[in-house]
């Protein structure tokens, strides 16, 4: 999945916008940190990273089985997982922040001219991503009655019943979102984008991870904190929060369908972020999907590396690790590609050591300064620095730094995640 216009919104910071509030006491201020909007943002971010990482692992498992047998697995998404996976190399990691900056400026200066095209492209990407998110559930539902053979659609390809069901539900959700503009539907589409990006994008080594996250940290900090001094406006926040014209409204005007046709549809807030209002409705919390995806890619890399080492040393047989369908990874506890102990340890590390301190720090900073905060400023150090330290102490730093999946090792020590 190559970087595109969606990457601009995907790396939006963690601005939490509040209404005019009087000075609060310490108790009230502390309580505001754990209100419904903040808690929802935290929990959903963790769940998306965990789920996306294990979908990524299952795709690797499917590809191994496909290469071994020479036949695609019946449960793979259109049997194109291996072709769809995008591995970021060093050059892409260096230039991605630059490309994202150019795209951000284009959206800032020419948003009115490109908003309809951008909205349509975002809707198409969100449809595909949400269908990928729904696929395991649809496989589980259709498993008793699913035909063995795929249904052919000519030049469009052959699809299983579960794939057709997930895509149909995704199209329906996008249509309802376009008609209503509801924030909950926008969040659902953003969740699909998060999971798809974590599952289809790979970080091949720790060197590439450091280059990418360091560059995006600088990108995030500059456009949130310093862009106002150059452009007289916070470019990142303006692009992230600016609603786009509804394509139905634009189409009705172009076709001169009359004042009542399509004019009552709302402007659309694009699914490049997760938005959660508080229970009182006085404020809302907003987190860009890039602030979930980028740390998620790093943590997914660590999980894949740990599992690869154990497979290379014969601790996890591939035949026992792989299952015939991604539904096993999504819904079954005894057919996961990694052991239950490794899964619990990795999830515990994600929650307690990596993301939680970064998200908590970003939340506190947004409360103190009452302004948008670059979430990667807090998330990157709390994920990258502990990983580097732990890899060094375990003796894995040298191997993880350069192409760890293309070399073999006889070491019996594993990077516990």
Q: Which residues are catalytic?
A: 220, 291
Contact by Cβ (8 Å): 66, 73? yes
Please give the Cα distance from 103 to 118 (Å, whole number): 11
Please give the Cα distance from 212 to 88 (Å, whole number): 9
Orientation of helix 183-200 relative to helix 161-180, angle to 10°: 140
User: What does the block give as tokens for 285?
Assistant: 């919390």
Please give the Cα distance from 385 to 214 (Å, whole number): 11
User: What does the block give as tokens for 184?
Assistant: 């909950």
Q: Are strands 86-87 and 201-202 parallel, antiparallel or unpaired?
A: parallel
Roughly how many angstroms between the first and final C-alpha of the chain, as a whole number? Answer: 26
Residues 195, 198, 200: CA angle, nearest 5 degrees: 100
Instruction: State residue 284 phi and psi, 5-degree precision.
Output: -145, 155
Give strand pairing partners of 273.
288
Tell me which H or E stretch contains 377. Answer: helix 376-394
Please give the Cα distance from 316 to 414 (Å, whole number): 13
User: What does the block give as tokens for 196?
Assistant: 């798809």
């Amino acid at each position: 999945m190559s970087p595109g216009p969606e990457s601009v919104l995907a790396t939006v910071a963690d601005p939490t916008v509040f209404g005019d509030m009087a000075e609060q006491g310490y108790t009230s201020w502390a309580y505001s940190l754990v209100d419904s909007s903040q808690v929802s943002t935290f929990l959903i971010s963790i769940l998306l990273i965990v789920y996306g990482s294990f979908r990524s692992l299952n795709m690797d498992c499917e590809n191994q089985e496909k290469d071994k047998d020479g036949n695609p697995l019946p449960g793979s998404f259109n049997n194109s997982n291996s072709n769809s996976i995008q591995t970021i190399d060093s050059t892409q990691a260096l230039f991605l922040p630059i490309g994202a900056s150019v795209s951000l400026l284009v959206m800032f200066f020419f948003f009115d001219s490109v908003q309809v095209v951008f909205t349509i492209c975002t809707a198409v990407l969100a449809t595909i991503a949400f269908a990928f998110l729904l696929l395991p559930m649809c496989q589980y539902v259709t498993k008793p009655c699913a035909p063995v053979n795929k249904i052919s659609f000519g030049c469009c390809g052959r699809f299983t019943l579960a794939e057709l069901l997930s895509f149909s539900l995704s199209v329906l959700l996008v249509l309802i979102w376009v008609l209503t503009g509801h924030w909950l539907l926008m969040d659902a589409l953003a969740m699909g984008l998060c999971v798809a990006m974590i599952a289809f994008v790979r970080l091949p080594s720790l060197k590439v991870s450091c280059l990418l996250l360091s560059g995006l940290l600088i990108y995030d900090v500059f456009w949130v904190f310093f862009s106002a001094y150059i452009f007289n406006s916070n470019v990142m926040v303006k692009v992230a929060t600016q609603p786009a014209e509804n394509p139905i409204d634009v189409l009705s005007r172009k076709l001169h369908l009359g004042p009542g046709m399509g004019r009552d549809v709302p402007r659309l807030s694009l699914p490049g972020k997760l938005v959660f209002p508080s229970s009182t409705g006085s404020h809302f919390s907003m987190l860009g999907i890039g602030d979930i995806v980028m740390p998620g890619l790093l943590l997914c890399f660590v999980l894949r590396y740990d599992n690869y080492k154990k497979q290379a040393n014969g601790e996890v047989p591939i035949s026992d690790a792989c299952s015939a369908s991604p539904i096993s990874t999504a819904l079954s506890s005894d057919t996961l590609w990694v052991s239950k102990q490794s899964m619990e340890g990795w999830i515990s590390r994600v929650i307690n050591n990596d993301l939680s301190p970064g998200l908590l720090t970003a939340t506190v900073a947004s409360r103190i300064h009452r302004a948008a905060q670059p979430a990667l400023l807090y998330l990157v150090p709390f994920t990258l620095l502990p990983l580097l330290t732990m890899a060094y102490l375990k003796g894995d730093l040298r191997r993880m730094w350069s192409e760890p999946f293309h070399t073999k090792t006889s070491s019996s020590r594993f990077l516990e995640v």
